Structure 1
Amino acid sequence: MRCLLLLASLGLVAAENGLNAWLRYAPLPRGTYSHVSLPSDIIALNSSQTSPVYTAGQELAKGFEGIFGKHVSVSHKASKASSCLVVGTIDEYEKSYGKLKNAPELKDDGYWLSNKGSTIQILGQNERGALYGAFQYLSMLAQGDFSKVAYASSPATAARWVNQWDNMDGSIERGYGGASIFFSNGLVVDDLTRAGDYARILASIGVNTVVVNNVNANVTTLSTENIKGLGRIADVFRPYGVQLGLSLNFAAPNTSGTAIPPIGTYDPLDPKVVAWWTNMTELIYDAVPDMAGYLVKADSEGQPGPLVYNRTLSDGANLFARPLQPHGGIVMFRAFVYNLLNESDWKADRAKAAVDFFKDLDGKFEDNVVIQIKFGPIDFQVREPTSPLFANLFKTPTAIELEVAQEYLGQQCHLVYLPPLWKTVLDFDLRVQNKPSLVRNIISGERFNHKLGGTVAVVNVGTNTTWLGSHLAMSNLYAFGRLAWNADQDPQDILQDWIRLTFNGNPTVVDSITQMSMESWPAYENYSGNLGIQTLTDILFNHYGPRAASQELNGYAQWTRADHDSVGMDRTLKNGTGYSRQYPDEIYNMYENIDTTPDNLLLWFHHVNWTHQLHSGKTVIQHFYDAHYDGSNMAQTFVPTWETLKGKIDNERYNDVLFRQTYQAGHSLVWRDSIVNYFHNMTSIPDKHGRVGNHPWRIEAEDMELDGYKVYQVNPFEAASNANAIVTITNSTTGTATTKLKFESGTYDFAVNYFDQIGGKATWKAYIDDRLVAEWIGNMEDTLGHAPSPYLDSSSAIRKTWHGVKIKKGDTLKIVGKADGIEPAGVDYVSFLPKGIVD
């Protein structure tokens, strides 16, 4: 340990793979705590190894060992000795030590933390609360915070759940961090070590439930063998106070493969169906006696539900709520219900669906039903207005659904720190009945006087040691837990705690990662979809790369209604879909009026000409051009900012993040060019700064002399510069493209845009007068963490840059590409960039 402390004091850092996340308990330099009196003993007031209090004692000992290099013994018998740390419930503490002076009022899971006396007290309202308090104390110590405190803390929302989208075959829907840690080959996995590690991570941020399977549930989760497996998962969760939740397939009673035979119907009002779910719930609770409850997705995106039988959604929710009541379980019933719509109907609007389906059912749900509402009315876009359903359910508790999985927001391959986005919703005042009605106070139950309420996140952790496939993406999971506990916290403060715990407290490290992260959402919004137009990604395929046209001419109704003259959804009551009227009066009046609608939501609420002038003074189309250039330019700065951290964090994580930031810098340019070219082609309105379509430093691959290569017209056209790329003539040959350089002699950054597709590992080499200047391989499906696309499109488009390449005017550039599998070594263009030019 002395060696580790010496390394820390010298600023040297050992390699780390991310598995410990923010619970590293890294050694502090001895000089930072020489004045601190550490406890001589830890007294954990429960000796059962399944108890969260027992776990708290073990965690505290582990923390003292790691942070200070001090072994502190753990006992389970009360002691009057001074200089000890006592952790347990308030009830157990008072049995041994007498009445706690000024005992705080705590909600379920709350805790009291005091280190002001001779004895450190970490006391929970329940055992889980004691563990939360222990983690909070360790978080302070790990950051070198030795301040004297005495305070009570209780969670804002009772249900702090994460929804895993894990499938029974081990895949994860929208999974960018590896395979499932819960399931494989249709069964619960044998080795649940990672599941226990996950519970530890979640407990440290106050998350109390994990729904382990996909909302698009497979009925075989309810087989006899898998119910036993769920019991094993619950067993590894239990010492951390984490409960198991289960997603259900509404049609399970009519489907084979479950522990109870099918009965030929799933009508929620049929007594046979009621009995079936009552019996199934008893079977599950026999295996998991502390199960938190069910998550139900019904009548949405092809999933079965009560509407099939002309029953109401409340009939469906209550079907599950009633058998849960004797066990104290709750139903999280998702409000994500919508029908496919016809774009030719200008009154059609998917955004209205949640209120249309649920408003008239308010008060018809059982008391243990919570309506789980996506933060915006569409689907986790880069910016949406707050869902109006929060303002339309007065008698029914609600939970907000966030998404840690960056489904539309770069899929953990782009840095996007999401809490600033979430805070725009949590802090939004819906002004229900002209009274303060912040969303965070609605979901907590405070505004409408509910005991229940929740904060939920879709999370896609997998077997990758980084959990999410990216070290920096873990800031979103950490911040989710912090905001679920207290939504009044500042996202930047939360972020900086995470940085110090995950990396270290070096001011340069903290400042640099803070800067990158806080700029990342505005950057991504700028280059992916601004002014409220939604994220202009490929919604019909992988939700990753840009494809603006995919928003139109389909029933999914994420329309932009863009044409040659105008753009935007008219959601006003006066002329449009009437969506604006779903808000309380003050908010309706703001959004109904184009003059009072914020620019960042203009195109969500109004259909305007491309030449419409914004509050900023710019036209809509010029804002599009400027924003996409500004956003991609910001993404370029993340690379040099990260490079300032070389030697200040371990090389393993430094290199992994550098790779991803370099990738994002290149892909942001793919986004920029795709969107501005698409709308420039649509509108024929020039960019007043002359950037769009003007690339003096580029050489289009199709303009080079080709041997073994052929010109390929890329679809969509905007996914390639000048709409064309080159590919090898066959998928098993080598192609060569050559050209004479016309640039002035000098030193340049050499950039290549190429296509890295799933299904092969093509190789490329670039020569200048037979001097090798660059080589690379198409292996992004291995190195990026997930496979973006098997096609030549904007998802498989990659840009790489090599710095300091010397050329002479008249040199011959030669690109040699060797196809592999289905990957035909596609090349879009090359650029020779003077210093400071991005292209």
Structure 2
Amino acid sequence: MRVLFFLAPLLGSATAENGLAGWLRHASLSCSHQCQSKLPANIIALNATESSPVYTAGIELQQGLKGIYGSHVDISHDKCQTPSAAVIVGTLEQYRKTCGSLKDVPDLDGDGFWIDTKDTVVHILGSNEKGALYGAFEYLSMLAQGNFSEVAYATNPVAPIRWVNEWDNMDGSIERGYGGPSIFFKDGAIVEDLTRVKQYARLLASIRVNAVVVNNVNANATLLTTENLEGLGRIADVFRPYGVQVGVSLNYASPETFGGLDTFDPLDASVIKWWTNITDQIYEHVPDLAGYLVKANSEGQPGPLTYNRTLAEGANLFANALQPHGGIVMFRAFVYDQLNETNWTADRAKAAVEFFKELDGKFDENVVVQIKYGPIDFQVREPVSPLFANLFNTSTAIELQVTQEYLGQQSHLVYLPPLWKTILDFDLRIDHKASLTRDVYSGKHFNRKLGGSAAVVNVGTNTTWLGSHLAMSNLYAYGRLAWDPTDDPKGMLQDWIRLTFGFDEKVLDAITQMSMESWPAYENYSGNLGIQTLTDILYTHYGPNPASQDDNGWGQWTRADRTSIGMDRTVSNGTGYSGQYPDEIAAMYEDIDTTPDNLLLWFHHVNYTHQLHSGKTVIQHFYDAHYSGAETAQYLLAQWQSLKGKIDEERYEHVVRRLEYQAGHSIIWRDAINDFYHNLSGIPDQFKRVGRHPWRIEAENMSLDGYRPYTVSPFETASGSVAIVTTSNETVGTATTNIKLPSGTYDLAVNYYDLYGGKSQWGVYVNDKKVGEWQGNNEDVFSHTPSIYLDGHSATRLKFRDVKVKKGDTLKIIGKPDGVEPAPLDYVALLPQGIVD
């Protein structure tokens, strides 16, 4: 293959960008005459029907070429012969009918396509119309990256199911959504203006996603009203030209709560008839509905177990209704019961296999069991769900999460494909044979026609779609991996960077390094050694709160006490979870010596002094990892700041704010987790860092006027466990101290709490000269779920740089409360340059 790169883009930051175009910017290239010679004179789209993906492919090619080359190219539909350079796009069958036979085209499967750029006429041909559209986007992606290679190749999807799930509610809110309100719903109905839906359709088609479930798995049955079914039809009409089918989530109890029946028993004749009629009605409005997504008997949702029916019987109820229409049921395996932690063998991780293994082969052919990648709930690291190795006769799909529910909620940069690849590439050794997870869920290993992947995405009306420009790399990469799970995370990332930010090598290198380091850093400062993400699982799933993991019925336990930590999931002495894997994998995890350190506490309960393969003790690893992760977060910010002037100001400043916040919040995480386990175990950090902060001035130790001390809970989310709040919500508070450090230039760090329900204002002064001010408006600036408490979610750290002080100067902070927010303050730190604290 001869590769031609003409990398002379229009660099610089003259034009602000808001992120709405995502990776489909198709930014203009300033290229040579040889580059211009690659511009086709004509586009031939072999279907003139405006709702067809091939027609759409023609439009996308025209618009993309206009953006990249700055030239208009005409489109035709009814002829094939052209006297000059052209792009022909269509299906193989359309090409044969219109243009005649074509040699050397490889076999195409499913939505596959063939692209040939070696001649003056570029051929983009799909096995179907979706494939042709995918090929058009592939061609534009090459050009937009300055790649004018002469290529001829075919590519086919690994699996037919490549879905995204949106957890949108009928009122317009989004559960675990961090990019603004729904693009689909508002005030109980489908929105009138579907412009954003069309833009989302383009993004999904460009990464070869073929279906979108538009409503929350915790479904509201009012979606089934006649008005909303008509609206659903309008949504489907927008997605259809892009080859994206619409699916819907269902509430299992709808026949009773919405339909007026006195039961929702899946074997009751009236219930069966009701769902059949509803399904028929939906298909009248959406004739190409992809199918249903069902969450049943999980986290309080109704389901067939209410009537002592099996989950298979519950799924088959919908499968039978869908079968005449060609739809499928995605039935979530996220089913578990409340548990008692005092029962040593109780283990939520076992639930999926316990509920579904005995049902293998009892699901109808159009049922796909949708399995979360790990057995708990989108944690920072989990072993692959053993359910994949226990369903030999049932179609499965893997469920990933693009929205960063437990992983920083888009206020933290976390590039997820390296995490996903630990699951996709894992060899389950079923029957002592190579059994990569990606081959199991795709249907390849068990020779099943259905299979694939689904990702919880949760885009919103924010122009960044997900709440952060950098988070869009995860959606882009998900589509790539859904098509080909062998794809390389770094290579995908760099394609995304070029498409999103241009070709500058410094930009490419910096964002690549930042992104590839981000997941290991987040794992280090949030929860490592397989202990799960040590966040608050009872509230926002965002900030640190390790104690919340235990003494509850949810089963995300660490079983930490004063001497030991970790879940014993062995067969010999624990919950028996390890025995759910095939023999070779079970044996590996059963033995503490062969269990990888990064999953040690997932499978074994050990003393804090247990020595890892690295030679460190568990507790010292905790201390070191949390310091290391927070240090990396500071470096992420510095790397991005090195790109000032190379990225447009709007996106640059947007990302700077988030990385500054992440740099501060990583320290809050670091201190909270280390202080918690230091307090619990009583074992000191061998480097004497934990609990020692010589540069800090605790707010409660300052002279207070209008402020009072406040004991924070959980204790570890305040330095020294105490913060200060104003004495009333109408009182302005002042905290004053004399600087005892040597005269010099310092960075001034402030730790405060930003509560939902108020927007306090603070100012910091040196000798009555203001050196900084800020407002408690995180809920308007960042993407994570806000908190109404002083805790690890609301804790925020910011920094004012290059503050000149003299020994004996007066440092003063004035806090003005607002609403329910009493201008809370934790500490101030004067840091010599280069010191993190």
Which band: TM-score by shorter chain?
Answer: over 0.9
Partner Cα distance (1:339, 1:619) in 2: 34
CA contact (8 A) 2:744 2:804 kept: yes
Partner Cα distance (1:85, 1:10) in 2: 28
Q: Describe how 1:98-497 pairs up with structure 2 within 5 A.
A: 98-256=100-258, 261-497=259-495
Deviation by residue 1:644-683 (Cα, 9 ceiling, x = unmatched): 1111110000000000000000000000000000000000
What is the match of residue 95 of structure 1? 97
Deviation by residue 1:615-662 (Cα, 9 ceiling, x = unmatched): 000000000000000000000001110011111110000000000000
Partner Cα distance (2:80, 2:299) in 1: 59
Following superposition, the deviation at residue 770 of structure 1 comes to 1.1
The partner residue of 1:695 within 693, 696, 708 is: 693
Partner Cα distance (1:562, 1:427) in 2: 31
Following superposition, the deviation at residue 175 of structure 1 comes to 1.4
Following superposition, the deviation at residue 29 of structure 1 comes to 1.7
Following superposition, the deviation at residue 505 of structure 1 comes to 1.0
CA contact (8 A) 2:8 2:31 kept: no
Q: Which runs of 5+ in 1 are unaligned?
A: none
Deviation by residue 1:480-508 (Cα, 9 ceiling, x = unmatched): 00000000011000000000001111001
Partner Cα distance (2:8, 2:681) in 1: 60
Say which is worse superposed, 308-317 or 321-330, in terms of deviation: 321-330
Following superposition, the deviation at residue 396 of structure 1 comes to 0.6
Partner Cα distance (1:554, 1:831) in 2: 36
Partner Cα distance (1:642, 1:6) in 2: 22
Following superposition, the deviation at residue 413 of structure 1 comes to 0.3
Following superposition, the deviation at residue 589 of structure 1 comes to 0.6
Following superposition, the deviation at residue 37 of structure 1 comes to 2.4
Following superposition, the deviation at residue 35 of structure 1 comes to 6.0
Following superposition, the deviation at residue 80 of structure 1 comes to 1.4
The alignment partner of 1:11 has SS state of coil
Deviation by residue 1:732-752 (Cα, 9 ceiling, x = unmatched): 110111111110110101000
Following superposition, the deviation at residue 708 of structure 1 comes to 0.4
Partner Cα distance (2:706, 2:422) in 1: 53
Structure 1 stretches of 4+ with a deviation exceeding 4 A read 5-8
Taking a change above 3 Å as real, the CA distance of residues 302 and 33 of structure 1, as seen in their structure-2 partners, is farther
The alignment partner of 1:389 has SS state of helix
The alignment partner of 1:34 has SS state of helix
Say which is worse superposed, 490-499 or 81-90, in terms of deviation: 81-90
Following superposition, the deviation at residue 830 of structure 1 comes to 0.3
Partner Cα distance (2:138, 2:705) in 1: 64
Partner Cα distance (1:36, 1:558) in 2: 60
What is the match of residue 587 of structure 1? 585
Over the matched positions of the two proteins, sequence identity in percent amounts to 67
Partner Cα distance (1:714, 1:33) in 2: 66
What is the match of residue 40 of structure 1? 41
The alignment partner of 2:284 has SS state of helix
Deviation by residue 1:23-52 (Cα, 9 ceiling, x = unmatched): 001001223853642211000001111000
- RMSD value over aligned CA atoms? 1.2
CA contact (8 A) 1:7 1:13 kept: no
Give the length in aligned residue pairs.
831
Partner Cα distance (2:210, 2:399) in 1: 15
CA contact (8 A) 1:538 1:547 kept: yes
What is the match of residue 754 of structure 1? 752
Is 2:627 the partner of 1:625? no
Partner Cα distance (2:280, 2:19) in 1: 39
Partner Cα distance (1:34, 1:133) in 2: 21
What is the match of residue 51 of structure 2? 50
Following superposition, the deviation at residue 454 of structure 1 comes to 1.3
Taking a change above 3 Å as real, the CA distance of residues 432 and 698 of structure 1, as seen in their structure-2 partners, is same
Following superposition, the deviation at residue 262 of structure 1 comes to 2.0
Taking a change above 3 Å as real, the CA distance of residues 10 and 552 of structure 1, as seen in their structure-2 partners, is closer
Say which is worse superposed, 816-825 or 36-45, in terms of deviation: 36-45
Following superposition, the deviation at residue 102 of structure 1 comes to 2.4
What is the match of residue 578 of structure 1? 576
Following superposition, the deviation at residue 715 of structure 1 comes to 0.6
What is the match of residue 83 of structure 1? 85
The partner residue of 1:727 within 725, 728, 742 is: 725
Taking a change above 3 Å as real, the CA distance of residues 351 and 180 of structure 1, as seen in their structure-2 partners, is same
Following superposition, the deviation at residue 564 of structure 1 comes to 0.4
Partner Cα distance (1:209, 1:622) in 2: 47
Partner Cα distance (1:153, 1:19) in 2: 28
The alignment partner of 1:267 has SS state of coil
- Which residue identity is paired with 2:681? T
- Which residue identity is paired with 2:289? M
Taking a change above 3 Å as real, the CA distance of residues 691 and 108 of structure 1, as seen in their structure-2 partners, is same
What is the match of residue 526 of structure 2? 528
What is the match of residue 498 of structure 2? 500
- Which residue identity is paired with 1:682? L
Q: Which runs of 5+ in 2 are unaligned?
A: 1-5
Taking a change above 3 Å as real, the CA distance of residues 6 and 618 of structure 1, as seen in their structure-2 partners, is closer
Deviation by residue 1:526-563 (Cα, 9 ceiling, x = unmatched): 00000000000000000000000000110001000000
Deviation by residue 1:236-265 (Cα, 9 ceiling, x = unmatched): 001101000010011111113xxxx42211
Partner Cα distance (1:190, 1:483) in 2: 33
What is the match of residue 23 of structure 1? 24
Partner Cα distance (1:142, 1:7) in 2: 11
Taking a change above 3 Å as real, the CA distance of residues 6 and 617 of structure 1, as seen in their structure-2 partners, is closer
CA contact (8 A) 2:469 2:655 kept: yes
Partner Cα distance (2:33, 2:791) in 1: 53
Deviation by residue 1:3-31 (Cα, 9 ceiling, x = unmatched): xx999545344100000000001001223
- Which residue identity is paired with 2:387? L
What is the match of residue 641 of structure 1? 639
Q: Describe how 1:635-784 pairs up with structure 2 within 5 A.
A: 635-784=633-782
Deviation by residue 1:389-416 (Cα, 9 ceiling, x = unmatched): 0000011111000000100000000000
The alignment partner of 2:628 has SS state of helix
Taking a change above 3 Å as real, the CA distance of residues 787 and 11 of structure 1, as seen in their structure-2 partners, is same
- Which residue identity is paired with 1:14? T
Normalised to the residue count of structure 1, the TM-score between the two structures is: 0.98
The alignment partner of 2:131 has SS state of helix
CA contact (8 A) 1:32 1:144 kept: no
Taking a change above 3 Å as real, the CA distance of residues 786 and 632 of structure 1, as seen in their structure-2 partners, is closer
Partner Cα distance (2:370, 2:720) in 1: 45
Partner Cα distance (1:36, 1:453) in 2: 43
CA contact (8 A) 1:416 1:473 kept: yes
The alignment partner of 1:290 has SS state of coil
Deviation by residue 1:552-584 (Cα, 9 ceiling, x = unmatched): 110001000000000000000000000000000
- Which residue identity is paired with 1:147? S
Partner Cα distance (1:323, 1:358) in 2: 22
CA contact (8 A) 1:780 1:787 kept: no
What is the match of residue 64 of structure 1? 65
Partner Cα distance (1:549, 1:303) in 2: 27
Partner Cα distance (1:664, 1:393) in 2: 41
Normalised to the residue count of structure 2, the TM-score between the two structures is: 0.98
